[in-house]
């Protein structure tokens, strides 16, 4: 707790200050304007592991409102007025270029740290999800003095208080494991803080990545939590097996996490190591200890091994769009079948390197335009067990992924998308995606899948594509990609109504593209050529492929060695798909067939 004293320094003016349990001076110049703040000695203020004092260039924002606890009317334009400290030995001085004109009526003064120049409406946005690089910058402090007259302002006192709690996590193991990561779960990670009233609102749950302070030690600031029993942690170690642990907060004598307190949580990995929680007031030294509770973590099997699971918010488009904010590393965004999920674009922060979109408890439907990547840092993108209803005017991935990235779509129904991946233009110097694999999927009523993206390998298996109005796969290689060869592997697929455009095409570069495999596939299209600049060689496997006898593409694929056509064209469309008009199947088509080829889901 930090106490500020403001009193008359000279007959002409006063001075306002900020820090803890010390008398401090407030001065104003001749035109009744506060221009500087000064702390007294021993100005302990912050959750800082090194000095616990104000540091050079620390900034606070000061407001002056009409009197009254709920009053939010700003007086004399005194809104978020910036004061900066030069740091150094106590007393610490703050200065302001603009100052505050003292009101001629009773007023309420509030101040907060750290100052943010982008604040609107007296709302400070608290975002605690990512503290991997440090937590000191998140240390929200607030002070208020209400119903202050112009005369009393000459001797005004203010008390700064920490608005967050601190967790100091210490992990021990009898087997000598080294902790690789800690995730704090079941707790609010963002909120709006009202600088006029000192209240939190609009809290949103998620998980916090704490700061590593030493081997097996982590720290983080958290919102006050009552009750604290929902808090848990997922801990991973460097052990070869059984390397994931879950710690559940056992409240014991500590039923809530209070603002301004430090909680040292000692966690033992396994039943043989006893842990504890100590509550320490986050004010001036010396600290007073609080109660203890057991703190053991048990080995668990993760719901999705290798991923931190985030449950997608249902029935809230804005929450879904921002649900990955602050996340890092490998993230699984879980959609539960039967819920309603709609969003414009889901933002993918630069810190996420591996993203899994997955349906649980059945195939979940998501209606969205796509993913909005903050930067080209995603190394792996997987979509699994989802129905994705897209936007015919939007590319699902609106930016490039990282060089060497892997894209996998499995067990999905995808429809009404402009493209899954690609810039849509022949742009040189693109990041080269390592592979795009599509398995056990239906993709329909769309324009394209790979839209002039640079990709080393395309694998399409056990899937159905139909009703496309563009090129399904168009790989592009710019001048810097001359030596790269895009390879295609197509097996057990049903490709129907693929339009007039070439289905598989490569442009740019020098080496062209190559079919490695094209087998057990049915193609019904009006295009003259199935492939363009996608060639085959003596090692290419072409076998058991079908086209209809009345289709324009019947003459487009020939064998490498003797020039013979390599597709069976003895069947008409109705012979291949006698139940096509069946609209009860998801997607509105039934491509059941008696031939031993095509997507396995249609084989009788």
The per-residue DSSP string of 549-560 comes to TT-GGGGS-B-T
318: part of which helix (H) or strand (E)?
helix 317-321
pLDDT value at position 591? 92
Supply 133's token pair: 């690089």
Let me know: does 251 contact 191? Beta carbons within 8 Å: no
Supply 121's token pair: 């409406």
Cβ count near 159 (within 10 Å): 14
pLDDT value at position 155? 61
Nearest Cα to Cα of residue 354 among 308, 414, 301: 308
Q: Which CATH number fits domain 165-299: 1.20.1050.10, 1.10.8.60, 2.60.40.2630, 3.30.420.10?
A: 2.60.40.2630
Output the CA–CA distances (angstroms, integers) from residue 467 to 415, 470, 503, in the order listed: 10, 9, 12
Q: How far apart are CA 472 and CA 179, in angstroms?
A: 45
Q: How far apart are CA 443 and CA 495, in angstroms?
A: 10
Q: What are the residues facing 547 on neighbouring strands?
A: 523
Nearest Cα to Cα of residue 589 among 598, 579, 597: 579
Q: How far apart are CA 354 and CA 339, in angstroms?
A: 24
pLDDT value at position 274? 42
Cβ count near 157 (within 10 Å): 17
For domain 2-162, give the CATH number.
2.60.40.2620
Phi, psi of 46 (to 5 degrees): -120, 160
Residue spans of the domains in the chain: they are 2-162, 165-299, 450-602
pLDDT value at position 289? 39
Burial class of residue 247 in the structure, from the number of CB atoms within 10 Å of its CB (0-12 exposed, 13-18 middle, 19+ buried): buried
Burial class of residue 286 in the structure, from the number of CB atoms within 10 Å of its CB (0-12 exposed, 13-18 middle, 19+ buried): exposed
Supply 268's token pair: 């033992």
Output the CA–CA distances (angstroms, integers) from residue 7 to 10, 151, 498, in the order listed: 9, 10, 81
pLDDT value at position 192? 94
DSSP letters for 115-160: --TT-BTTEEEEE-SB-TT-SGGG--EEEEEEEE-TTGGGG-EEEE
pLDDT value at position 87? 64
With helix as H, strand as E and coil as C, how does 505-547 read? EEEECCCCEEEEEEECCEEECCCCCCEECEECCCCCEEECEEE
* pTM greater than 0.75: no
Q: How far apart are CA 87 and CA 61, in angstroms?
A: 16
Q: How far apart are CA 598 and CA 493, in angstroms?
A: 4
Q: Do domains 2-162 and 165-299 have the same CATH topology?
A: yes
Q: Which residue has the tokens 């003895």?
A: 570
Residue partners of 214: CB distance under 8 A and separation at least 6 = none
Q: Which residue has the tokens 């402009």?
A: 418
Mean pLDDT by runs of 10 across the 604 residues of the chain is 28 29 35 51 45 73 91 91 71 72 86 89 91 87 85 67 88 84 85 95 85 92 79 82 76 74 83 48 35 52 73 90 83 93 94 92 94 93 96 90 94 95 76 93 94 91 94 80 74 90 82 86 82 81 83 59 68 87 72 92 80
Q: Which residue has the tokens 């500087």?
A: 36
Nearest Cα to Cα of residue 470 among 527, 522, 518: 527
Pairing of strands 211-214, 217-222: antiparallel
pLDDT value at position 287? 26
């Amino acid at each position: 707790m930090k106490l500020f004293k403001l009193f008359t320094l000279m007959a002409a003016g006063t001075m306002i200050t900020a820090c803890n349990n010390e008398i401090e001076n407030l001065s104003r110049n001749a035109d009744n304007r506060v221009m500087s703040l000064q702390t007294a000695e021993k100005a302990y203020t912050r959750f800082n592991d090194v000095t616990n004092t104000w540091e050079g260039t620390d900034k606070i924002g000061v407001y002056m409102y009409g009197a009254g606890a709920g009053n939010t009317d700003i007086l004399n334009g005194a809104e978020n007025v910036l004061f900066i400290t030069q740091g150094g030995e106590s007393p610490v001085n703050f200065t302001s270029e603009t100052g505050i004109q003292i009101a001629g009526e009773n007023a309420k003064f509030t101040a907060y740290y750290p100052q943010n120049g982008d604040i609107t409406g007296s709302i400070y946005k608290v975002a605690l999800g990512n503290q991997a690089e440090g937590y000191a910058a998140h240390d929200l402090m607030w002070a208020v003095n209400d119903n202050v007259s112009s005369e009393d302002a000459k001797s005004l006192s203010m008390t700064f208080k920490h608005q967050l709690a601190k967790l100091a996590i210490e992990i021990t193991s009898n087997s000598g494991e080294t902790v690789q990561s800690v995730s704090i779960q079941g707790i609010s990670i963002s909120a709006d803080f009202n600088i006029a009233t000192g209240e939190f609102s609009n809290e949103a749950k998620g998980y916090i990545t704490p700061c590593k302070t030493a081997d097996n030690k982590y720290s983080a600031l958290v919102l006050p939590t009552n009750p604290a029993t929902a808090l848990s942690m997922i801990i991973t170690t460097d052990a070869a097996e059984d390397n994931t642990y879950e710690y559940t907060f056992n409240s014991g004598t500590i039923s809530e996490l209070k603002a301004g307190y430090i909680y040292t949580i000692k966690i033992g990995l396994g039943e043989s190591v006893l842990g504890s929680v100590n509550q320490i007031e986050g004010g001036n030294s010396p600290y007073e200890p609080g109660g203890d509770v057991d703190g053991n973590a048990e080995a668990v099997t993760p719901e999705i091994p290798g991923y931190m699971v985030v449950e997608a918010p249902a029935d809230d488009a804005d929450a879904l769009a921002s649900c990955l904010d602050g996340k890092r590393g490998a993230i699984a965004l879980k959609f539960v079948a039967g819920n309603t999920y709609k969003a414009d674009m889901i933002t993918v922060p630069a810190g996420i390197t591996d993203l899994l979109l997955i349906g649980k408890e059945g195939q979940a439907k998501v209606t969205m335009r796509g993913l909005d990547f903050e930067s080209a840092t995603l190394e792996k993108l997987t979509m699994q067990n989802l129905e994705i209803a897209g936007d015919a005017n939007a590319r699902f991935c609106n930016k490039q992924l990282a060089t060497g990235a892997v894209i996998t779509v499995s067990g999905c129904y995808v429809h009404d998308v402009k493209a899954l991946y690609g810039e849509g233009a022949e742009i040189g110097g693109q990041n080269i995606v390592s592979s795009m694999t599509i398995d056990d999927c239906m993709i329909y009523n769309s324009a394209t899948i790979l839209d002039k993206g640079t990709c080393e390998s395309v694998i399409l298996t056990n899937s159905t594509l139909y009703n496309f109005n563009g090129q399904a796969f168009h790989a592009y290689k710019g001048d810097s990609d001359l030596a790269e060869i895009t390879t295609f592997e197509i097996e057990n697929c049903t490709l129907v109504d693929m339009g007039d455009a070439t289905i598989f095409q490569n442009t740019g570069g020098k080496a062209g593209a190559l079919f490695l495999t094209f087998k057990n596939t049915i193609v019904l299209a009006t295009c003259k050529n199935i492939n363009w600049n996608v060639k085959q060689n003596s090692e290419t496997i072409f076998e058991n492929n079908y086209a209809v006898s009345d289709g324009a593409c019947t003459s487009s694929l020939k064998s490498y060695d003797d020039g013979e056509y390599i597709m069976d064209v003895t069947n008409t469309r109705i012979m291949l798909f006698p139940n096509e008009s069946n609209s009860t199947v998801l997607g509105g088509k039934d491509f059941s067939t008696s031939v031993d080829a095509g997507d396995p889901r249609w084989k009788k």
